[in-house]
Amino acid sequence: MTDNKKVVVNKGNLEAGVETGVEIVVETVVTTVVETVVTTVVETLRDRALRYHEEPRPGKIALALTTRADNADDLALAYSPGVGEPVKAIAADPETAYRYTAKGNLVGVITNGTAILGLGNLGPLASKPVMEGKALLFKRFADIDCFDIEVDTENVDEFVETVARIAHTFGGINLEDIAAPGCFEIERRLQAMLDIPVFHDDQHGTAIVTAAGMLNALELRGKELGAARIVCLGAGAAANAIMNLLVELGADKANIFMLDSKGVIHTEREGLNAEKLRYAQVTNKRTLADACEGADVFIGVSGANLLDEQSLRNMAPNPVVFAMANPDPEIKPELAKSIRDDVIMATGRSDYPNQVNNVLCFPFIFRGALDVRATRINEEMKMAAVHAIKDLAKEPALAEVIAAYDNVDHLEFGADYIIPKPLDPRLMNRVATAVAKAAIDTGVARIKVLPIYK
């Protein structure tokens, strides 16, 4: 007699040694003679991600040689005695470092691990996979080389001093995953101290892509940015950068209501930092539902499921909702559309239309800035990137872009396509060129010839 049973066993029911999140399917065949247990492991995202980072060799990046090192003469030129000649040239004229070293195509991706993605303050070492991932994206999309650097301090002075002392190594610095409000001061001070671009992507990359999509969404709804009433749920680095850029593009600060964990930021509140004070309103609005009354735009950079049904209903006709909390947005698109069939939605997720993804801009902003040796990334360069991304979404999508995405057979400018896809190869030409031109036009470029990208 045989008794066949199939059971799903969760981790809590197993002995130690089973990986978290792994579902085990156990086939138990019981006979009068022997009991056999056959175990099949169903792979989870966690397993796939860990294996991806471990194999075929640990990590995601490595150095590559750019010149010969095949014989004794090559080695004599690469190191002693030949290396002494570029050393002397650079000592005599520091600008020749761009000619004789990799400085001009090298970006430092630098963090202290205090705000790692949506995971919080897990420290500098835990942030290394993210920094390597950023380096991978720089290389994949713009052929920019990177060193990832994880600085073990939460002290602003120490962090700034560390970065400033190693800055000669790089042509630009990308700050990453640094918690507010320290990130604001760190970026400001480094920009003032250094003559290379310093760019906090969590702030400005998010702002640029958000602004590009927002301008397109408002255009589709027949609304003007200058007249739009905007609610921003979140008051950290990304929120402030988004609002600042929207104001630069024409939004009226008097129409912006920003909320933090305590509600609407208003002038009667005490203890507000300088960034929050900039958006403090004279108002009796206190809650999200209050702020959403008649609002044209909701921007969420906060947490999951925080935009409730009543707040969405309170918004003006044809609202625009950018719910960008990751991995779970402030409201899921399917729920939002069941409440308001006139809403245009964007999220930070790739499995919904209109993903706000920083990779649409940061590789190409640095590409353009590096190629004209810009001393900084200024507001004009950011706005140039906004318009380049915005305009690309209006062009016919390439067949190769459509083919690269599962379950996508058509892309056309409209409510479900207001932002280009990250794999659109035209981004390099459009964004990098626009950024480089803006750098030249505003006098921050040391090379005055516009680069040509294929």
SS3 content of the chain, % helix, strand, coil (to 5): 40, 15, 40
Q: Which distant-in-sequence residues (6+ apart) come within 8 Å of 80 by Cβ?
A: none
Give the C-alpha separation, 239 to 273, whole Å. 14
Sheet holding 23-30, edge to edge: 3-9, 23-30, 35-42
Q: What are the residues facing 173 on neighbouring strands?
A: 108, 198
**Active-site residue (options: 60, 98, 134, 139):** 134
The DSSP string of 262-295 is TEE-BTT-SS--HHHHTT-B--S--SHHHHHTT-
Tally the C-alpha atoms within 13 A of residue 180's C-alpha that lie toward its C-beta: 17
What distance in Å separates the CA atoms of residue 268 and residue 261, rounded to the nearest whole number?
A: 16
Query: Residue 346 forms beta bridges with which residues?
Result: 322
| Rounded CA separation 222/102 (Å) | 48
Q: Cα torsion for 331, 335, 340, 342, to the nearest 10°? A: 80
Whether 79 is a known active-site residue: answer: yes
Instruction: Sheet with 297-300: list strands edge to edge.
Output: 263-264, 256-260, 230-233, 297-300, 320-323, 344-347
Specify whether 134 is catalytic: yes
- Let me know: does 220 contact 256? Beta carbons within 8 Å: no
What is the distance between the alpha carbons of residues 28 and 148, in angstroms, rounded to a whole number? 49
Length of the chain, in residues: 454
Which candidate in 5, 11, 60, 79 is catalytic? 79
Q: Which residues pair with 40 in a beta bridge?
A: 25
Q: How many CB atoms lie within 10 A of CB 216?
A: 25
What distance lies between CA 18 and its chain's CA centroid? 34
Choose among 43, 22, 25, 31: nearest CA to 4.
31
- State the alpha helices, DSSP H only, in 278-378: 288-292, 309-314, 333-339, 362-371
For residue 63, give the 3-state DSSP assignment: coil
Q: Could you give the residue numbers annotated as active site?
A: 79, 134
